[in-house]
Structure 1
Amino acid sequence: MYLNVSAARTMIILGSGGHTTEMLEVVKKLNNERYTPRLYVVAEGDQNSVDRLLEIEKEGGDYKIYTITRSRKVHQSYKSSIITTLKSAYECLILLLHSRPDLILANGPATCVPVCVVAFFLKVFYINGSCKIAYIESYCRVKSLSLSGKILLYLTDIFVVQWPDISKISRKILYFGRLT
């Protein structure tokens, strides 16, 4: 029996450094016909992630790259980060209303928090109720969740960890073992 499964508009959030490395390893394993178009989100000024992404997507698949304001820059005060976080959330709202992803893949960079929070509220208010949010905790998180993970644990549809000890934190957490 053949199942005709339609493609899923997939939003993939990249962070800087290790988060991008891990997420691009996951992207390499995705079926490009099933997860298309791919809508990448990067924080402003993260040219490294864009360059690495372009290397992965050099075959010319169906993808777009979107840039959003960083919620909080390194050494930025928490007080002033309220303004940049609100600006980022507004940009995410416009992006999510325009792109209407079926699936959001996130793995921990701070950039993913406003995207996932806005997507969650769009689901709650039935504006994009079919969107699924999948969070993959970074491989380096062996004993505890990251701050992004703690914030998003109850807002995601699937929450995956790569170490068994972390899966004991909540029944919602799924242990998949090493993904990259």
Structure 2
Amino acid sequence: MRKKVCLIASSGGHFEQILMLEKLKEKFDLYIVTEKTEYESTTISKKYLLKQINRKGFNVVVNLPILTLQSFWVFLKEKPDVVISTGAMFVIPTFLIAKLLKKKLIFIESFAKVTSPTLTGKFLYNKVDVFIVQWPEMKKVYPNAIMLGSIY
């Protein structure tokens, strides 16, 4: 039986990076979770689109709990073996849920971050099973990370 893998990323560059992992569908049952935007093209047939939230202001306080509940529902429905993410914010609740349920967690720090961490990366660094960086300089920030080079 093939392992089920959840690819989860917020919209924009994080989503663009997670799409680089689409080829994993040849070996795993993949599904993707992202924010609903005009740009959500993927060859992965199973996808869940959550409400996009503005990361600034009061909107995030109201919508993050809603996104957390939606992510939890998707997680319980799909029951992934592994969760992989490139960030950002709304992936944290899903990772914490997966951690509680003892699922394998893989976080890939953003390609855009060459010498400094993302907020999501800083929060998840000691909570995931595998932490991957894309630049050798990031090993100074995350000494226990695996440096695999560019996701592109």
Q: Which TM class, normalised by the smaller chain length? A: 0.7 to 0.9
Query: Of residues 7, 17, 21 in structure 2, which corresponds to 1:26?
Result: 21
CA RMSD of aligned residues (A): 1.9
Question: 1:63-97 CA deviation, whole Å, 9 max, x = no partner?
Answer: 41112344x414433xx523322222122222212
State the shift of 1:178 in Å.
1.6
Query: Of residues 21, 24, 28 in structure 2, which corresponds to 1:35?
Result: 28
Answering whether residue 72 of structure 2 is matched by residue 93 of structure 1, we say yes
How many residues matched? 152
Question: 1:42-61 CA deviation, whole Å, 9 max, x = no partner?
Answer: 12x32312xx21xx34xxxx
Answering whether residue 124 of structure 2 is matched by residue 152 of structure 1, we say yes
Native 8 Å contact 1:39 1:65 kept in 2:
yes
Question: What corresponds to 1:76 in structure 2?
Answer: 57
Paired with 1:69 and 1:116, the residues of 2 have a C-alpha distance of 18
* TM norm structure 2: 0.87
Which amino acid is 2:95 matched to? C
State the shift of 1:174 in Å.
1.1
Which amino acid is 1:34 matched to? K
Question: What corresponds to 1:163 in structure 2?
Answer: 135
Report SS of the residue matched to 1:107: strand
State the shift of 1:35 in Å.
1.1
Paired with 1:163 and 1:15, the residues of 2 have a C-alpha distance of 21
Native 8 Å contact 2:115 2:141 kept in 1:
no
Question: What corresponds to 1:3 in structure 2?
Answer: none
* TM norm structure 1: 0.75
Q: Which has the higher strand share?
A: 2
- Structure 1: where are the runs of 5+ without partners? 1-5, 58-62, 124-130
State the shift of 1:135 in Å.
0.7
- Structure 2: where are the runs of 5+ without partners? none
Native 8 Å contact 2:15 2:34 kept in 1:
no
State the shift of 1:171 in Å.
3.5
After TM superposition, the runs of 4+ consecutive aligned structure 1 residues lying more than 3 A away are none
Paired with 2:123 and 2:146, the residues of 1 have a C-alpha distance of 17
Paired with 1:168 and 1:141, the residues of 2 have a C-alpha distance of 12
